[in-house]
Structure 1
């Protein structure tokens, strides 16, 4: 979200401390037909992000669930300048791209903007026609490389300026998405746009109506209702999903919406005095068993949680699992949304895939 660091932001920053980003390879492989046709498309209602800092584990997870995945978005690229897209470690791995294609899965890598440019630079690019055109061209070049099937645009720090400038940037971003999607479609590539939840108080930078018309799919990051830098609480809830989808489905066809679900959680100091630690589902469950905490599903949100003590410090863990997702997805189905995304491969409760199969 604009007002908070998301889980993916925290994770990508951690990984970036450990490894230097690699530049986008200059040689491009022309996009071509799949080796194997997608024979199970009717059963594929899920997409998922593949984190570069746990690439092999995430890739194997994707292959295990290939029958349900129509798209995998490797979290590989970052916008570094108007005319430059750079790669994270492992970006463009031909073995992974080929393996996913052979499994009938589209490869639509993510380009993110978090902590990649100085404050205000992206807003300047969007509102300057020549720079916006250069940035569009750079993204189209990337989409045409490595046999990719399109691009997932994940720009989360567009602007935090005062309202008059904010409205200008919002309009410019909508125009940018419209132009980018048109050029990607002309190149026979998919245009996927990731957005944060839009409620009465959040997500105003994104013009859902325009994005919904231009993009093939709009992914809503339906997590971090409570985030690492705030007080403990559920990452998502049925009521929150309802609020998000009432707004989204009023202006975007449900078939174009992907509700992105969390496969992780946060481990906070109980008083919320410091930032939370990120935990995958596996880590949260291992910790719960280690400390002997009973399993509890919060009935109001549909989210598992527990408390424990780390020495003298009381702590609170909220996360998501298959049982909780089953409760929350009932709210999603109510609005006719049957496509989901997962943040992220390798984080999730394996039982989640059976729940998604019922979507």
Structure 2
């Protein structure tokens, strides 16, 4: 990737223009952002296939504002069997990404992909024993490495397995998500799931992933609303498609469920586009580059300038431009192998000639010099595109956006994103909450709520019991993710706890609850409250 420079003047002008953005036709009705939007509304993925990709991805974190970033997912792992998970890329690259996130107190939720092959993972999930083994394998990975959670990115069901398998896989997928979530939550860890979307009221798209069925169990649901155009020129993440996906969520998720869990859902947005090639005249030389190639946001402006192209705003919200290339070079072709006549057959003749044996390993002839004209058509987002998409997501009351991929964007993106008005609830940056009730006895039980005002993800609590004899015992981390409809002053309602711990709390014991947040609040626990058993 080329070195990046910040364009302060352009960013300032861009912020001034944000007020001109209008909702796309068919978008979900606007909601009060202050009542349904977290302060940190941007997540994303860091590629792990090269050191430079990790460097660019982590640079996005440092260039971006602390006011916008929530959890980040390094692409770290691939499930290759029920009981085996391989590292994607190198361990050194993964460690560099994780360390960068931890240095800023951001939740570390690496992504794990399905690397098993056609229908293999479907078979693993269909069998209760192998499904349980896979759940335990993932849990062991997360706990042993000290991650905050894991992001499931199992796209094989959608893009490798046949559609005829979807009806059988769909319930198995929900069972797997439910069981993995329970295992991770029991260990104080989070579960994020990334899937391609459905649209047109649920009749189009990738229905193998039961969104309504898995939503109660996950802590984050990311929908990959990109790759609309792949084989033919067109927008990669059009606004109209996003609006359709958002309205479909309202149709397929029961209203009472969505009202409490809307803050779990993020929309994946692309920080890249594509360039498609079309031969408009002539014959192209051998080896001419005629394939579709990716174009990252950060390189699009230079690409257009290099070829004298003028980007225009497409109705999709993305930029579009074209340019022509003249390609000249040799055209080579294979010379057919000779076909000798059949030999005369005699009684004492030798074996017939083997025509195949006469064919040379490679016989090429020059077809001379040829020339063709190739038109390249590019669709790519810019800062305006991503902020426009973000505004629509936030206006519909969802958590925010997930960027594929961090490092592809222009550095000028972060100023406009930070300028979006997403008021948080009261408090911060330290966790807030309430210890409403304590039940003593052989095993202590606590009830209440705790959250980090800057993040909509659940946080963990610990229970400390100080018995009358002075003995002190503290529990392990417990996820506070129960439903609390009464938390209307905060962006999300999934922060309640009704939890027990195998700690004796006889009468007169002091029971205290502490919570650990993220960001600036990640380093030390905060006291939520104490009560006497």
TM-score (normalised: structure 2): 0.56
1:264 to 272, 284, 296: 272
- Name the counterpart of 1:43: 39
What do you get for the CA RMSD once the two structures are aligned?
A: 2.1
Q: Classify 1:42/1:162 alpha carbon distance in 2 versus 1 (closer, same or farther; 3 Å).
A: closer
- Name the counterpart of 2:223: 220
* 1:231 maps onto 2:193 in alignment: no
Report the 3-state secondary structure (helix = DSSP H, G, I; strand = E; otherwise coil) of the residue aligned with 1:158. Answer: helix
Q: Classify 1:286/1:162 alpha carbon distance in 2 versus 1 (closer, same or farther; 3 Å).
A: closer
In the TM superposition, what are the counterparts of 1:68-217 in structure 2 within 5 Å? 68-91=68-91, 93-113=94-114, 116-158=115-157, 160-161=161-162, 163=164, 165-199=165-199, 200-217=203-220
Deviation per CA, 1:156-204, whole angstroms, max 9, x where unpaired?
Answer: 11263354x4211111011101110111111111100001021132111
Shift of 1:267: 0.7
Q: Take 2:61 and 2:44, find their aligned partners in 1: how far apart are those partners? A: 8
Q: Classify 1:66/1:189 alpha carbon distance in 2 versus 1 (closer, same or farther; 3 Å).
A: farther
Task: Looking at secondary structure, tell me which structure has more helix per residue.
Answer: 1
Mean Cα deviation higher: 330-339 or 203-212: 330-339
Shift of 1:333: 2.9
The answer to whether the 8 Å contact 1:70/1:104 transfers is no
Mean Cα deviation higher: 321-330 or 74-83: 321-330
Could you list the structure 1 runs, at least 4 aligned residues long, displaced by more than 4 angstroms after superposition. 271-275
- Name the counterpart of 1:10: none
- Name the counterpart of 2:300: 284
1:332 to 385, 393, 402: 393
Q: Take 2:417 and 2:207, find their aligned partners in 1: how far apart are those partners? A: 29
Q: Take 1:249 and 1:325, find their aligned partners in 2: how far apart are those partners? A: 22
Number of aligned positions between the proteins: 313
- Name the counterpart of 1:35: none
What are the ranges of 5 or more consecutive residues in structure 2 without an aligned counterpart? Answer: 1-36, 281-288, 327-372, 423-533
- Name the counterpart of 1:243: 244
Q: Take 1:111 and 1:271, find their aligned partners in 2: how far apart are those partners? A: 39
Q: Take 2:163 and 2:300, find their aligned partners in 1: how far apart are those partners? A: 39
Q: Classify 1:326/1:63 alpha carbon distance in 2 versus 1 (closer, same or farther; 3 Å).
A: closer
What are the ranges of 5 or more consecutive residues in structure 1 without an aligned counterpart? Answer: 1-40
Q: Take 2:220 and 2:417, find their aligned partners in 1: how far apart are those partners? A: 18
Shift of 1:104: 1.7
TM-score (normalised: structure 1): 0.82
Deviation per CA, 1:39-81, whole angstroms, max 9, x where unpaired?
Answer: xx96321111010121122112212225021111000110100
Deviation per CA, 1:192-243, whole angstroms, max 9, x where unpaired?
Answer: 000102113211111001221110010011111112xx10000112211111
- Name the counterpart of 2:439: none
Report the 3-state secondary structure (helix = DSSP H, G, I; strand = E; otherwise coil) of the residue aligned with 1:206. Answer: coil
* 1:350 maps onto 2:351 in alignment: no
Task: Mark the structure with the bigger radius of gyration.
Answer: 2
